[in-house]
Each structure stands twice: as C-alpha cells, then as structure tokens.
Amino acid sequence: MHKFDMPETARQHVLQRRARLHAYERIDAAATALIVVDMQNYFMKSGMPACCDVARDIVPNVNRLADVLRRAGGAVVWIVTEALPGSKNDWPNFYELGDDHVRDARMEMLATGSDGYALWPAMERMEPDLTVTKTRYSAFIDGSSDLEARLRERAVDTVIIVGVATNVCCEATARDAMMRDFRTVMVSDANAANSDDEHAASLITFYLYFGDVQTTDQVVENLARSTGVGAAAQ
C-alpha cells in the first residue's frame, strides 16, 4: 500500500482557506455513496495490460468501507469500465494515444463478460449494491454513465471515492463529482496508483482545490459521528 502523508505545506494552505484540516468532519451515511472505481481484473490481475499491483493491497480497506456504509444506511456503487464495440470511433482521441496492440487488448479484455471486465474476486459486492458501467475515465462526464442520475434518485449529496487508479479514473471521477456539486472525499489508503509519486500528486491537488482527503479510519470515524455505526468495524 502507498505510504502517504499530506505535506505540511498543503495542510497550512488548507487551514488558511477554511480554518480546519478536513472539510467533512461528519458524514451523513443516508446521503452518502461509496464509489468503488474499476476494481476489475483488467486493472488488478498480474499480466493484464493495465495491472496496478498496489490495487490488491487496498482491497481490505475498500471492503471495510463498503461494509460500514451499508450498515449505516448508505449506498455502495461498483463502477466498472467497459470497452464497447465501436468505442474506437466514439472516443478516437483516447485510442490514438496508444499503439494498435494496446488498443486491441483493451477492446478485447474490457468487453462485457471477459475476464478483464470482471470484478477482482476478493471484492465483497453485496445484493443491495449498485453496479454502474462507464466508458470514460470519469463516471460523471456526460455520456460516460448514468451514475449521477442514479445518485440523485437516492438523494445522495456526498461521495467517497476509492479504487484504481488514483490519478486517472478515481481523480477524474472525484473532480467531476465536485464539479457536479457533490461533497467529495478521496480515501488515501483505499486508492492505488502505479507509483507513490503519482498517488501523492493526485491526492495533494485534490485536497487543495477540489474536496477532502481522509484515511479509511477517518471516514469510518466521521460516519460514526453521524450514525453511531462503524466502531465495530475498526
């Protein structure tokens, strides 16, 4: 798992802006959704083109947060990336950034029903949870998914972002969530990237300008402040 501590310079900058280190010190579970981004074999299984080895280390924290939020009355949403037939034409600029081998592998291994598309086996998805398919890095950008509509139906105003990769789909989804006026938290020890530097840079920028960054323990504690649920999951 990434070793991450928010730099003191970032902390001081945030204190100057809002006089407290964390924007969301109480999290109302009933109005909150845990957004689990791309915890699929394609991004986690050794040998897959986009494998991020560190993602396997965050599985216990992601499952813990999902369990706590469910028991507190919140929503858990599993975001899965799908490469649709014809997506080379739908998102041509993305595919121009890689060579033919990368493009073809993505189309094959993120097709619905493929091994790469499936959730990592250790993820504890439960029957009440939602599954939302996205076709862009961000789940909130127009045309990528119906995530926003499904959250609005449930009167969700707060989202907790976990998954892989911190600095790609997780950050893109988190930034757009804030832009769509959701209170947004990224969880530092429940996101994973391909390097400590990428992970840190993403979280620091998000904390400074877009939302809050908390640890798994902090999120559980802040949920417990509002609901009383969470202490047993420590």
Task: Provide the whole-model pTM.
Answer: 0.93
pLDDT of amino acid 89: 56
Where does the pLDDT of residue 234 fall: very low under 50, low under 70, confident under 90, or very high at 90 and above?
A: very low
91 part of a folded domain: no
What's residue 68's pLDDT?
A: 97
Within a domain: residue 157?
yes
**Number of structural domains found in the chain:** 1
Task: Encode 49-88: b = buried (16+ Cβ within 10 Å), e = exposed.
Answer: bbbbebbbebbebbbbbbbbbbebebbbbbbbbbbeeebb
The reply to whether 188 falls in a domain is: yes
Q: Kindly state whether residue 89 falls inside one of the protein's structural domains.
A: no
* Average pLDDT of the residues of the chain: 92
Predicted pLDDT at 35: 98
Calculate mean pLDDT across residues 4-28: 95
> Is residue 47 a part of any domain in this protein?
yes
pLDDT digits (tens, 9 = 90+) for 164-210: 999 999 999 999 999 999 999 999 999 999 999 999 999 999 999 99
Give the catalytic positions in this structure: 38, 134, 169
Is residue 143 packed enough to be buried (19+ CB in 10 Å), middle (13-18) or exposed (0-12)? exposed
Q: How confident is the model at residue 233 (pLDDT cuts 50, 70, 90)?
A: very low
Residue 232 has pLDDT above 50, yes or no: no
Structure tokens at 148: 């926003």
* String of DSSP letters for 187-228: EEEEEE-SSHHHHHHHHHHHHHHT-EEE-HHHHHHHHHHHHS
pLDDT > 60? residue 40: yes
Asked whether residue 6 is domain-assigned, the answer is no
CATH number at residue 40: 3.40.50.850
Kindly indicate the confidence band of residue 215, based on its pLDDT and cuts at 50, 70 and 90.
Answer: very high
Average pLDDT over residues 120-125: 98
In a domain, residue 150? The reply is yes
Range of the domain at 218: 31-81+117-128+142-204+213-226
| β-pair partners for 36 | 78, 162
Kindly state whether residue 110 falls inside one of the protein's structural domains: no
